[in-house]
Structures are given as structure tokens and as C-alpha cells.
Amino acid sequence: MGSKGVLRATALGSLLALALALVAARQTVASAEEQFVAQQRLLVRGQALVLRGAIEHGEVAVAQLNLSAMPATPSAADAWLAAQLRAFRVEAWVHGHIEGPDGAILARAGASAVTHAHHGIGVVVCRLCLDERQALVLRGAPDPRGRVAEVVLTLHGLDRRVVGPLRANGVAAWIEDARGLRLTGNVVGASTTTRWLRSGAVVDSGSEPLTLRTRVDAKRATDRVRSALWLELSGAALSLLLAVSTTIQWLREQRRRWDAERAMLESRLASERDAMHRDRLRSLGVLSAGMAHEIMSPLTALRLGFELMSKGVGADELGPDFSMEALESIDQIRDLVCDLRLFARADLSARAPVRLRTVLTAAVRMTGADLRSKARLELDVADDPWVEGSSGQLLQVFVNLLVNAAQAITEGRPADNLVRVYVRSRRRDVVIEVIDTGAGIPPEVVDRIFEPFFTTKAEGVGTGLGLSVCHGIVRAHGGSIVAGPNAPRGTVFTVTLPTGDSSSTVGSKG
């Protein structure tokens, strides 16, 4: 995956995480609203029970007060009524009084309340008081002397005492009658854009049912939840930005590292190409005298023959084999020139199926002049193996190995020394052994001979690049090269190359 793909994947993953966080936030807000409404309903029911209890206690009181036990003096009558209301568990904020037949107040207890002369006998809930939004009146039946007990729940008092706990969190709460008329409570302004959460509970007040209702703005109900979610989403957004920023920074670092590695690789490849080129030049310098001899010998014979023919010597006098020898000399020069051209253009040689016999024959032909003065030369290719690679680069490998073999053997005793190239095919690879009977490689340095610029030769003889170049070429072809001792003396270089496809003849000539 490229840098753009990594950045795109990171951004998409972060956006997906943010989208999931937003969905979770909406679900959390909805859950918080539902929980708030449920809690508010419980609270409304509790407050409705408080109001219902106050009404029920007042109804019981006005129905069961024994007015015949009331003292005659006003102060004693007030104390007696207060004690009686407490006994009936009437709230202290509820007003109670006793009226005489003429409407005069005979005794009073609790908070003061407005009384009305229009309360009829037997009226439990006074509609006129409800319409005026002043009080909820509970009136008992008159006793034999015409006296009536009355309990008045001031609605404005309910607004503070009963509804108050519901308003602590900014909830609009009120009491309404069966007609939906608001009797008490704070007023909520109408808004078409506000979404309200509603709740309510019925207060059973006998003949006049009342309902306690609440209403709250959904945003106010979940302010804290929304604040917490806002902080969480802000953190998620910051994490998204941090992830994208970190990914961009990482990609930049990766890009710089990739550029540095590419520059290093290009520099290394350039160094290897330069080393291969210098090694070829060195090999050509080493082989130049022998190759010049290989070219000059047939040219000299040809020149002498043609010179004699120019002086009138006939072909019959030159011998019957002159023409065949001349053609062989020309072929020898042609093959050597082709080998030189392939060797000089090794870098431009394309990968293709290579006939190994052709490459090894060219290597022997190029190094033969130097080798024959030092040792016997044998080329043993039992079958005709093919490998996949560059014929020019493989030629450079085997020329280097044969030149090293020649340099390891002392001149003057060719009959006692041998340089042998032995090839054998296996199932998936080809093994080529270059064996010499030279001085050999000291065991303590055999592990270092493929290092660049390492050499055991005398100063001015070797540059230390030949075996390093061979090692690089063979590895680039998917093979291996190792060195070991040859009994009783000398060295064996073993090159292993993967078997190629011989169905194509491209490069078979090398």
C-alpha cells in the first residue's frame, strides 16, 4: 500500500470512529432524556401524593370535627382548632376556620386565607375560588347550631410548597383543573422551536379532579450530558487530527527513508557497475598479450600464404590444406572478436536463456593463450545445460576464475599442472567447477576472498575486485559461488546456477 493509501485508510478509519462516536452520543442523549423523564415522572407522582394527602386530610378534618367541643372564647377556640387540625395531620400551611350561621369566623388556625360568604352548605370544592385562582376550599356540612368547618388550601402556597421541588432544575410545573385551566405554577413561554419533555400526575380531589403537570426543555434536561459528550467528541476530534497528523509525519519519515535507501541502492548499483567495468578492463589488460598472439598467429600465416600467391606461387604449390587452414584461421579470429565484443558489452547483455557450453567455450578461448603456457586445460561439459541470465556477465565470471587459476600457477611446467572446467547438471540447477593445481588459498583468508578490494596477490597484480564482482553477478543470477581446497594442491571454485528454459534459443551464441 502506497503512502496515499495509508493516509486514506487512516483518515477513513478516524472518520468512521468519529461517526460512531456521534451515533453513540445521540443514543446517549436520547437515553439521558428518557431517564430524565422517568425520574421526573416519579418526582411528579410523589408531589401529587403530597397534594392529595393534604386534600384528603382536610376533607377528613372538616367532616369529623366535633364542633360541640369548641370553647366559647375566641382565643381558646383558635387553640382548640389548631390542635384538632394537627390531630387530623392537616399541614401547617393549610388554613382552617369555623364559620357561624351568619358567616362570622368563630375560630381560625394555620396560614391566613381569603374567605368567601358564597360557599354553600355541603360544597366541598368551590368552583368560584378555582376560577379566581385563589384557593381550593374543602367545606363540611353544618352542625345543628349552623356552624361549618372549612379548610382552605391557598394555591399560591402550593406553587411554593408543593411544586417548588419540581422547579429546582428549571422545570415548569403547574396545577390545572379538569378543563385544562392553569390554577397555579410558573408560566412557560410558547416556542415553536423548543422540544419539550412532558410529565404529569392526577391528584384525586373528589368532585373536582386536579392534575399536576411539568414541562422542561429537552436541552436543559440533558445539559450536563451534552457537555460531557461535547468534551468526549472534542477529544475524539483531537484524536482524529492527531492520528492524521501522526500518519502524515510517519509517511514523510518513510518517504525520506525510502528516498535515502533508494539513493543508497542506486549508489551501490553504480559502484557495482563501476567495479564490473574496472574488472573487465583489468581482465582485458591481463589477456591482451595472449589474445594478441591468438590473433596474430593466424593472421601471420594468412599473410604469408597470400604474399606467396601474389608472387606467382600457385595454390597447388601451397598445399592441398591451405584453403581449409585459411578458413579455420578466419573463423578463429572471428570467434575471438565476437568473444571480446560480448565481454566488453556485459552490462548491456539482456537476461535470456543461455547455453552454458557456449559461454564456457568463449571463456576458455579468451584465456587459452595464458593458460596453455602454465597448465593443461580441460573443458568437460557432459551434457548441454541451459541457464537463465546474461551471457556477457556469466562470461566475465568464468574469465575471472580462469585468469585467477592462471595467476596461481607458476610458468614453465605445463605438463605438471591442470586447469579443469567440469560441468554437471542436477534436477533444478547446474554446478560448474573451476579446478586448478596452483598455490591454493590460505585457510585463514578463504572466508574473505569475496570481499571488495581484498587480495592475496602481490602488489600490482590484482585489485581485489575480481572475485567480489563474480560473487555479485552469481548472486544476481540466483546462484552461489564458494571456494575450497583441491587435493593434493590447488583450489576449487564451485558455481551453482538455476537451470533455465532451453525452449528459446535467444542468447545461445552468447
Strand order in the sheet with 105-109: 105-109, 95-99, 148-154, 135-139
Whether residue 262 lies inside any domain: the answer is no
- 282 and 204, same structural domain? no
CATH number, domain of 367, equals: 3.30.565.10
Where does a domain end: 161, 196, 220?
220
298 residue type, one letter: P
Residue 324: what residue type? M
Taking all residues of the chain, what is their mean pLDDT, rounded to a whole number? Answer: 75
| CA distances for 130 relative to 60, 152, 181, 326, 500, angstroms | 21, 11, 9, 143, 110
User: Same domain, yes or no, for 347 and 487?
Assistant: yes
Domain extent, residue 418, equals: 270-498
Q: Same domain for 150 and 214?
A: yes
Given a contact cutoff of 8 angstroms between Cβ atoms, the answer to whether 216 and 169 are in contact is yes
Could you give the number of structural domains in the chain?
A: 2
- Is 201 in the same domain as 282? no
Cite the beta strand spans of 205-278 per DSSP E: 210-217
Q: Is residue 305 located within the same domain as residue 167?
A: no
Q: Is residue 57 part of a domain?
A: yes
Q: Is residue 490 part of a domain?
A: yes
The secondary element (H helix, E strand) that includes residue 175 is strand 172-176
Residue with cell 368551590: 126
Note whether residue 383 is domain-resident: yes
Q: What order do you get walking across the sheet with 480-485 strand by strand?
A: 376-381, 418-425, 429-436, 491-498, 480-485
What is the pLDDT at residue 350? 67
Interval 316-372: pLDDT, tens: 666 666 667 667 667 667 766 776 666 666 555 567 888 899 889 888 888 887 788
Whether 197 and 341 map to the same domain: the answer is: no
Give the pLDDT band (50/70/90) at residue 297: low
High-pLDDT (> 70) share of the chain, %: 63
pLDDT at 67 over 60: yes
Q: Tens of pLDDT along 94-103?
A: 888 898 888 7
Residue 11 CA to chain centroid, in angstroms? 9
Q: Contact at 8 Å (CB) between 490 and 408? A: yes
Dihedral angle computed from the Cα positions of residues 82, 83, 84 and 90, in that order, rounded to the nearest 10 degrees? 60
Question: What secondary structure does DSSP assign to 263-316, as a single string?
Answer: HHHHHHHHHHHHHHHHHHHHHHHHHHHHHHHHHHHHHHHHHHHHHHHHTT--HH
- Identify whether 181 is part of a domain: yes
- The answer on 321 and 173 residing in a single domain is no
End position of a domain, from candidates 187, 220, 253: 220
- Look at residues 76, 81, 225, 196 and name the one whose alpha carbon lies nearest to residue 147: 81
- Whether 215 and 296 map to the same domain: the answer is no
Same-domain status, 413 and 476? yes
pLDDT of residue 32: 72
State the pLDDT at residue 421.
93
Judgement on whether residues 280 and 368 belong to the same structural domain of the protein: yes
pLDDT tens by residue, 131-164: 665 667 788 888 888 888 888 877 665 555 555 5
Residues 186 and 68 in one domain: yes
pLDDT of residue 510: 41
Reduced to 3 states (helix: H, G, I; strand: E, B; else coil), residue 139 is: strand
